[in-house]
Amino acid sequence: MSDIINAIPIGVGLAFMIGPVFFVLLETSATKGFRAAVIFDLGVILADIVFVYFAYYGSRTLLEKIKDDPRLFILGGGLLFVYGLFTYYKRRKPIIMDKDLVIVEKHNYINLFLKGFFLNFINIGVLAFWLGMVVVASPNLGLDDARIFNYFTTIIIAYFLTDLIKILLAKQLKNKLTPVVIRKIKRGMGIALMIFGLVLAAKGLIPKNTMEKIDTVIEKNIPKS
């Protein structure tokens, strides 16, 4: 029981980690509705499950090399940047509305599911997170398969339930979303994705020791409370 209690805050906190998936989930809920956002989020969850599976059952040594391979940071960052660029410039087909007729835009749920999966999957930082969780948590759980399964299952469930709350809150904004506001959200999301992509790619381009020095300088200059 204590394992489950300890896992719940991690799942809730994970749902509020600011990243590409965070913004896309909120945008999908606000502009396409609850069901579309849930389908997208299920794709995200599947990617997390895949990462946890390979982090635990795969080769630890191989995964350590993969997460630090600069080429994968560059590739993942490049894909995020291109996706953000596409999101920024993509024009939605107009939705025809009048007093008596509303033509509702149809959603391809398979595409939404795959979109959630791959948007999460290409972010190598997610792999690093789950790998770190497995390495840290497994010894504390006595390397017991049942305890580890329950622990990470609880994290995923808490994460998903918190996402449902986020989706419902974002849906409340739907009536306030005019075409102009939606366009601004799309462009803002595109810019955010491009920034995340550039930051991720920079981790692969900048030598590791330089990044460590930068982090040290930042920590020294942050005023302590």
Q: What is the DSSP string of 193-217?
A: HHHHHHHHHHHHHS-HHHHHHHHHH
What's the burial of 220, exposed, middle or buried (CB within 10 Å: 0-12/13-18/19+)? exposed
Confidence of residue 155 (pLDDT cuts 50, 70, 90): very high
Q: Per-residue pLDDT for 219 more than 80?
A: no
Most confident of 25-29, 48-52, 88-92, 118-122: 48-52
Mean pLDDT score, 106-114: 83
Mean pLDDT score, 89-101: 49
Mean pLDDT score, 79-96: 67
Percent of the chain with pLDDT strictly greater than 70: 71
Q: Per-residue pLDDT for 97 more than 70?
A: no
Residue 225 Cα to chain centre, angstroms: 31
Percent of the chain with pLDDT strictly greater than 90: 16
pLDDT of residue 112: 92
* Of the candidate ranges 100-104, 165-169, 174-178, the one whose mean pLDDT is the lowest: 100-104
pLDDT of residue 176: 66
pTM for the complete prediction?
Answer: 0.65
pLDDT of residue 10: 85
Q: Is the dihedral of CA 39, 151, 196, 176 positive or negative?
A: positive
Distances (CA, A) of 26 to 21, 23, 186, 203, 224: 9, 5, 11, 27, 33
Q: Per-residue pLDDT for 15 more than 90?
A: no
Mean pLDDT value across the chain: 75
Token digits of residue 196: 């995340």
pLDDT of residue 137: 77
* Of the candidate ranges 34-43, 75-84, 151-160, the one whose mean pLDDT is the lowest: 75-84
Residue partners of 142: CB distance under 8 A and separation at least 6: none
pLDDT of residue 104: 39
What's the burial of 225, exposed, middle or buried (CB within 10 Å: 0-12/13-18/19+)? exposed
